[in-house]
Amino acid sequence: MNEVYEDKQYDATVCCGVFTLGHVPPTALLELIRITKPGGWVVVSTRKSYYDSTNFQEVCDRYQQEGKVKLVNHVKDGPYIAEEGAHYWGFVVC
């Protein structure tokens, strides 16, 4: 069954363990933005290896430039698992 989520439905959307190799493309961030209310938070993490091998930063920059989100915090090389670190983003939806 394919669930459909309404626009601007959630006050906050948290996504951990999804933006990783073989799961979803960086552009899936737009879906998280779409379902989050203006003024709401979108918090995501990426494994360092995913970040390094995709255009995730470019996508984040584009959505900021387009006025879809405002970056509140970005932690690079934060703790994640023994094998590698992760990056974390906190956005507010515009």
Rounded to 5 degrees, what are φ and ψ at 69? -145, 160
Strands 10-19 and 36-47: parallel
pTM of this prediction? 0.91
For residue 80, give the 3-state DSSP assignment.
strand
pLDDT at 63: 98
Rounded to 5 degrees, what are φ and ψ at 59? -65, -45
- Please report which confidence band the pLDDT of residue 3 belongs to, taking 50, 70 and 90 as the band edges: low
pLDDT at 1: 44
